[in-house]
Amino acid sequence: MSPLFKTVAVLGASYGGSSAARVLAQGLPKGWRVVLIDRNTHMNHLYAFPRYSVLPGHEHKAFIPYSGFFSSETQEPSPHAILHAHVTSISPHALTLSRAFPEHGIKEPGRTLDFQYLVYALGSHLPAPIDLWNPANTPAGTKAEGIQWFKRCQTRFAHANSILVVGGGALGIQYASDIAEAYPGKRVTLLHSRTKLLPRFDDAMHTEIVSGLTALNVDVILGDRLDLSSVSAGKTVRIGAGGEERVVRTESGREIHAELVLLCTGQKPNTELLTTLSPDVIVPEGPPREWLG
C-alpha cells in the first residue's frame, strides 16, 4: 500500500497525537495517509493514574482501546493505520521503529517508514510514582502489563504505614489526599519547597487545599526543600515487625522518616528524538518564566 500513498506520520497517540491524527484523517486529500504510532497498545488516560495506583479495582479503566480509531464511513478500506511500536530514531524524511509492519511497507531489517510530514507528539516522561511508560515497568506497553503495574503500586501503598510525598503541585496534592482518604491510619506527609501550594493559582486555592489536607490528617510542611543527596544516600532505620523506614533530610536539616517516598517534582519533555533531528528547536532551560504566566 505504502508507495501509492504520501504519508503524514504522527508520533504519540495520546491526547495530542490522537486528536491531530483524527483531524488529519478527516481532512487530507485522496492519496495521503496518516500513520499514527505509539509504544502503548491502548490510549492511556493518565489523568487517572495517581488515583488508580492507590485505589484498587479501577485500574482497567485507564486503558482505552484504539479499535475502530480510523473507521471509515465509506465502503472503502481506510488508508490510515495505527501502529504499536517504539519510534527509535527520526531523520528528515524517515523514521525507524522497534518492529516491522510489512503490510504497511515497513520491513526488516531497516524497519523504516518514509514520510512527507511529521507530527511530534511524544509528550513528557512521567514522574517516578506514575512512570508506567518506563520500559522497565511495561516493556511491551500492553494493558495487561499496565494493570499488573497498578496492582503492584496498590500493594505497596496498602503495606506502607508512612508515606512522604515530595512536591505540592497537582500530582503531590492528589497523592497525599488520596492516600490519606483511602487509608486514614497511615502517616502521610506532604513536603513542598514553596510557602504556597499551587503557587500560580489564587491564595484562596492554597487555603482550601491546606484545610482539606489538614482535615485528612496530612502533615503539610511548606517552605522546605528535599535534599536529594539524602535520597540517594539510602539511609534507613528499622521499625517494628521487621519493617524499615527511609530517612531523608530537607535542606534546612529536618529529618523525615517514611516507608515510601514519592517524588512528585514535575515532568520532563520527551524530546530526545528531536535532539538528533533538529537540535535548534530544543530549549534546554525550558520556556521563559513569563510564558508560564
Ligand X SMILES: Cc1cc2nc3c(=O)[nH]c(=O)nc-3n(C[C@H](O)[C@H](O)[C@H](O)COP(=O)(O)OP(=O)(O)OC[C@H]3O[C@@H](n4cnc5c(N)ncnc54)[C@H](O)[C@@H]3O)c2cc1C
What does the binding site for ligand X look like in residue numbers (CB under 6 A)? 12-17, 37-40, 44, 46-47, 49-50, 86-87, 121-124, 133, 171, 270
Place of cell 517504539: 86
Distance (Å, whole) CA 35 – CA 203: 46
Closer residue to ligand X in complex, CB, 50/79: 50
Q: Which residue's CB is nearer to ligand X, number 126 or number 210?
A: 126
Closest contact distance (angstroms) between CB of 16 and ligand X is 3
Q: How far is the CB of 58 from ligand X (least distance, A)?
A: 15
Give the integer Cα–Cα distance in Å for 81 and 98. Answer: 16
Nearer to ligand X, 85 or 256 (CB): 85
Q: How far apart (Å, rounded) are the C-alpha atoms in residues 176 and 156?
A: 15
Closest CB to ligand X among residues 86, 152: 86
**CB nearer ligand X, residue 81 or residue 256:** 81
Q: Which H/E stretch holds residue 222? A: strand 219-222
Question: Residue 183's Cα: distance from chain center in Å?
Answer: 25
The four Cα atoms 192, 177, 150, 20 give a dihedral, to 10 degrees, of -70
Q: How far is the CB of 270 from ligand X (least distance, A)?
A: 5
- Nearer Cβ to ligand X (146/246): 146
Minimal distance, residue 159 CB to ligand X, in Å: 23
Residue number, 231 or 274, with CB nearest to ligand X: 274
| Closest approach of ligand X to the CB of residue 162, in Å | 23
Choose between 40 and 162: whose C-beta lies nearer to ligand X: 40
What is the smallest separation between the CB atom of 173 and ligand X, expressed in angstroms?
11
Copy the grid coordinates of residue 206. 492554597
Grid cell in block for residue 226: 528535599
Candidates 120, 171, 126; CA nearest to 267 is 126
**Closest CB 170 distance from ligand X, rounded Å:** 6
Which residue intervals of the chain are DSSP H helices?
15-27, 49-54, 143-159, 170-182, 203-215, 228-233, 272-277
The letter for the amino acid at 119 is V
C-alpha grid cell for residue 128?
A: 517516578
> Do the Cβ atoms of 138 and 146 come closer than 8 Å?
yes
Distance in angstroms (rounded) separating the CA atoms of residues 243 and 15: 41
- Residue nearest ligand X, Cβ-based: 123
**Least separation in angstroms between CB 131 and ligand X:** 10
Dist CA 248 CA 225 (whole Å): 11
Q: In this structure, what DSSP letter does residue 99 have?
A: S
